A and B are shown apart, each in its own frame.
Chain A
Amino acid sequence: MNILKLSAKNLSRNKLTTVLNIVLVAFGVGILSILFLASTQIGDKLESNSKDIDLVVGAKGSPLQLILSSIYHIDFPTGNIPAKDAQALMQNPMVKRAVPLALGDNYQGYRIVGTDSSFTGLYGLKVAKGSFWNKDLEATIGSAVAAESKLKVGDHFFGAHGLSNSDDEHKQHAYIVKGILAPQGNVTDNLILTNIGSVYKMHEPSHEADKHHHGEDEKEINNREITSLLIQYRSPMSVVIFPRMVNQSTNMQAASPAMESARLFSLIGVGIETLKWFAILIMAISALSVFISLFNSMKEKKYDLAIMRCLGASKAKVFFLVMLEGLMITVTGALIGLAIGHLALMLIGHFQESSQARLTGYYFLTDELYLIGAGLVIGIIASIIPAVQTYKVDIASTLSKDK
């Protein structure tokens, strides 16, 4: 019979109070855990998706919307830009790499992105099966698209109009899956990539499509519109000059992913901060609740502890017995809270509509250890006063009052 077993037995004797206290701690830690995990995953996704992109150029409008639609593929584009103007920017000496994007269609909610081979270089894409697209109406699909839509190399599918799931399919042209990308751990897992000509073809009257089919791919950008351009600078010096040049001398807007991501995070941050303080408040309430429970149980357990002292328990032993009871409640609550946090994120990820920003519960942070640490601290704070009381208990007078 050790102190740990005795503490557990003492706690199990007051099941309802113990469970209530554990639930309170678990609730607070659970919320904090969800916030930690979600904000870190969102931050990581934002960073990994925009890692090598210095600037996005698109139609004038909300710069955040432009970033969200062109990099993260979670919002609608601000409009289109003339391909001719985009081409001129692509030739600018300050630009190291420029990737054109043409958006407009989806397949089962997965966005079909018309682009060129520079897109594969920008994200360092590799195919797991088949090959990259080569001609009009050939597509290379992301790993998550393949897994969830069950499309295989050689399968045909129809794109639907719009950027979210719809029934308005372009029945006149079917795409053929030429390849499946290896998992990248970024937004490209959820995209269907094709050339820009395919996107044009889908939106042209059928006779123009036939003409285009025989046209030259090199010229396809020049006479049309595209959605946006992802730009990598040749030199960091361009950070100041290039966006200003675009915004002032063209009919397009330039948006910096770094700045817009930071702005987005500061907007989300207000909500996160509020929830964080709410969780901290719950944890403070749980500490108070554990303290009140232990303090009240001291009246009942005073004789138990005096008897233990009579039987040979040292002052330190009964002190640790009380501390252990508080710690067992809060640490158990913290562990359950962490489990709840991961489970909640799994559920959120499962029911999330947007696959591009899907959260997962299979994600672990070393910061979570701090939450267990917080459980320990709350346990210590809540039990220290009752434990000190037991330390000071006068065995002889306590037992004489029991007569």
Chain B
Amino acid sequence: MIKIQSLTHQYNQVPKLQFPDWEIKDAEQWLLLGSSGSGKSTLLNIIAGLLKPQSGEVILDGTSVYQLSSKEMDQFRGQKIGIVFQKPHFIKSLNIYDNIAIASSLAGLPIDAKRISLLLETLGLAGKAKKYAEELSQGQLQRASIARALVNHPSVLIADEPTSSLDDENAENVISLLTEQAASSHASLIVATHDNRVRNRLSKEYLLS
């Protein structure tokens, strides 16, 4: 479960962002909606422990994220939060399998080869494990980034504009995989988007004005 309480954040010379309190129960799937500049990415970064808010609190599975030390927070993020970015980025010197495996190593968890293979197979990437990022299409990379986000059985899966750079077919595939995989992993899902193709695909909406 995630609780967001009294969150505010301000960038230089930009009006202060204030985020309504929000509670996300286990395995719930939410769309985070809002116009450009409304703070969707900022809120996701705060939830993911990547950006410290000016005030307020994020509580994930009973842990107040910003009470943790920097090192504890890094490990907590690696183990509890899976992140899918708009532009999937992979470490260039590693193949897809190693890119997924390193997510476990960096989070201080053992590498589960079976789970990686299963995820790759489920996401239609069984034959791509030994390929490098530059050898895959955008759609394949986005699916690989979903596999990487899920490999450590996270409590929450965060996706920031995951479909905006994809064509209709790939966008449909990615959103289906996100919802299915989050459900099968019993992870909460938050998808920030302004993509109309995604609007009716998730049960709950959180609107930022």
Find out whether the CB atom of B89 lies under 8 angstroms from the CB atom of A317: no
Cα–Cα, bound, A398→B98 (Å):
23
| A to B contact number (C-beta, < 8 Å) | 79
Interface residues in A286-325 (C-beta closer than 8 Å to B): 300, 303-304, 306-317
A313 and B91 in contact, given A395-B50, A396-B50 (Cβ under 8 angstroms):
no
List the interface of chain B (C-beta within 8 A of A): 41, 45, 48, 50-51, 70-71, 74-75, 77-79, 83, 85-87, 89-94, 98, 101-103, 105-108, 111, 148, 161
- Say yes or no for A6: interface residue by CB 8 A criterion: yes
Cα–Cα, bound, A6→B77 (Å):
21
Find out whether the CB atom of A9 lies under 8 angstroms from the CB atom of B45: no
- What are 25 A-B contacts defined by CB distance under 8 Å? A1-B101, A1-B105, A1-B111, A6-B91, A9-B93, A9-B98, A10-B93, A12-B93, A13-B93, A304-B89, A304-B91, A304-B92, A307-B91, A308-B106, A310-B48, A310-B83, A311-B78, A311-B106, A311-B107, A312-B106, A313-B78, A314-B71, A314-B74, A315-B70, A316-B71
B24 to chain A, nearest CB (A): 20
Least CB separation from A400: chain B residue: B41
On chain B, the residues within 8 Å of A400 by CB distance are: 41, 45
Find out whether the CB atom of B75 lies under 8 angstroms from the CB atom of A311: no
A310 and B50 in contact, given A1-B98, A400-B41 (Cβ under 8 angstroms):
yes
On chain A, the residues within 8 Å of B70 by CB distance are: 314-315
Least CB separation from B132: chain A residue: A13
Cα–Cα, bound, A395→B78 (Å):
14
- Say yes or no for A216: interface residue by CB 8 A criterion: no
Cα–Cα, bound, A2→B111 (Å):
11
On chain A, the residues within 8 Å of B103 by CB distance are: 311-312
- Say yes or no for A403: interface residue by CB 8 A criterion: yes
A291 to chain B, nearest CB (A): 20
On chain A, the residues within 8 Å of B90 by CB distance are: 307
A29 to chain B, nearest CB (A): 27
Number of interface residues of A (CB under 8 A): 28
The 8 closest A-B pairs by CB, nearest first: A312-B78, A312-B107, A9-B93, A13-B93, A396-B45, A312-B106, A396-B50, A396-B51
Cα–Cα, bound, A261→B10 (Å):
77
Find out whether the CB atom of A1 lies under 8 angstroms from the CB atom of B102: yes
On chain B, the residues within 8 Å of A12 by CB distance are: 93
Find out whether the CB atom of A313 lies under 8 angstroms from the CB atom of B101: no
Find out whether the CB atom of A310 lies under 8 angstroms from the CB atom of B77: yes
On chain A, the residues within 8 Å of B79 by CB distance are: 312
On chain A, the residues within 8 Å of B108 by CB distance are: 312
Chain A window 365-403, contacts with chain B (Cβ cutoff 8 Å), 1 for yes, 0 for no: 000000000000000000000000000000110011011
Least CB separation from B105: chain A residue: A1
B38 to chain A, nearest CB (A): 15
A273 to chain B, nearest CB (A): 43
Cα–Cα, bound, A12→B94 (Å):
11
B36 to chain A, nearest CB (A): 12
Find out whether the CB atom of A309 lies under 8 angstroms from the CB atom of B74: yes
On chain A, the residues within 8 Å of B98 by CB distance are: 1, 9
A376 to chain B, nearest CB (A): 24
Cα–Cα, bound, A307→B87 (Å):
12
On chain A, the residues within 8 Å of B161 by CB distance are: 403
Least CB separation from B78: chain A residue: A312
Chain A window 142-159, contacts with chain B (Cβ cutoff 8 Å), 1 for yes, 0 for no: 000000000000000000
Cα–Cα, bound, A371→B87 (Å):
45
- For A313, give its contact among B50, B51, B74, B93 (CB under 8 Å): B74
Cα–Cα, bound, A310→B79 (Å):
11
